[in-house]
Amino acid sequence: MTTLDSLAHSSALAVHTSVSQVQVPIRGIAGAAKAAAIWRMAGYTVAGATAGAAVVVALLMAGPSVDDPTRDFAPTTNTAVPTTIPEETVVQTTIPESQESQSMTPVPGDDNDENEGTLPDTTPPLLEVTSPTDGEHVRTKLISFSGITEHDAIVTASGKFPAVVDPDGSWSIALVLTPGANGVVFRALDRAGNESEARLTVFLDVEEPTETTTTIPAEWVFTANQKYGSCSEPVPYDVFTGKAKPGTTVTVTSPHGSGAAAVDGEGNWSVRVEFKTAPHNVEFTVIVSDQAGASKAFPFVSLYEG
């Protein structure tokens, strides 16, 4: 039995008791009947009030109906919080077609590679000639040129002679000059393929060696010429030519190699001489002479760095 049923039952019993216990005197049946009616009405009123109060109490105790859409549940320890998002609160996540195509358009150069954001190296390497200076006059045939460049650059002279480049970028190379003006072109090439160029002119202030002549018949005169004066081959060599008495022999001597040539019927001779033991960048003298004792001296230097 619910609380509401219990209260209703108690009210009914109260009415019944109030009616059944009314004392009816014999002489006042009509008055008793009237009094009973009054008590019955009062009982009904009390019972109704009691029942209404019971209903109110029951409603307060029971709380809102489960079916009431306005019911406000008080949270309890074991009440699970709903996780479903109401339809009207769902955030729109679909990208409009125009924006989606725009967002998927690749950005030029955005390939996420490890060189992203870097530019190719197009700067020519540093190249300076510190010694000798442009226009300088020297009196030594073998001159050492030096300067500054980048530590990883390659420096060459006249397009074929490599210079020695130190880790700090300083470089040097020895070149053989000829009497008068000597124009030299230096080039530096870095790893990115960029190139720099430096030009200068150096003057060698020495007189050309004069040919040595002897008192010989007018029909023949000894002459000798040198073709190179230096060589960068692993086995350095030079070529000598000239005039001498037909049928004689011309000899070439030096500390690092010798040779001989027979003079032909027209007085011409030529010989190629190798200097197998010539030291690197050390100038020495080569003597060319004929059988009559006439001679001529020539300087020679090996440029091979092996």
pLDDT in tens, 166-209: 999 999 999 999 999 999 999 999 999 999 999 999 999 976 55
At 206 the pLDDT is 76
Query: What pLDDT was estimated at residue 71?
Result: 47
Distance CA 89, CA 84 (A): 10
Q: Provide the CA 197 distance to its chain's centre, in angstroms.
A: 28
The whole-angstrom separation of Cα 179 and Cα 229 is 12
| Nearest Cα to Cα of residue 278 among 238, 228, 227 | 238
Least confident window among 50-59, 75-84, 128-137, 214-223: 75-84
Nearest to 229 by CA among 240, 215, 218: 240
The H or E element spanning position 146 is strand 142-149
Q: For all residues of the chain together, what is the average pLDDT?
A: 75
Per-residue pLDDT at 292: 86
Cβ(169)–Cβ(150) below 8 Å: yes
* Alpha-carbon separation of residue 95 from 92, 98, 99, 204, 284 (angstroms): 8, 8, 6, 81, 86
Q: State residue 224's pLDDT score.
A: 95
* DSSP string of 176-198, one letter each residue: E--SEEEEEEEEEE-TTS-EEEE
- The per-residue DSSP string of 215-245 comes to S--TT---EEEES-SEE-SSS-EEEEEEE--
pLDDT at 133: 94
- Per-residue model confidence as pLDDT tens digits over 219-247: 578 999 999 999 989 999 999 999 999 99
- Specify the pLDDT at position 225: 95
Residue 115 has pLDDT above 50, yes or no: yes
pLDDT given for residue 59 in this prediction: 53
Tell me the pLDDT tens digit for each residue of 247-260: 999 999 999 999 99
In whole angstroms, give the CA distance from residue 274 to residue 3: 134
User: 139-151: buried (b, 16+ CB within 10 Å) or exposed (e) per residue?
Assistant: eebbbebbbbbbe
User: Is residue 154 within 8 Å of residue 194, measured between CB atoms?
Assistant: no
pLDDT interval class at 1 (50, 70, 90) = low
Closest CA to 71 of 83, 62, 84, 58: 62
Q: How confident is the model at residue 47 (pLDDT cuts 50, 70, 90)?
A: low
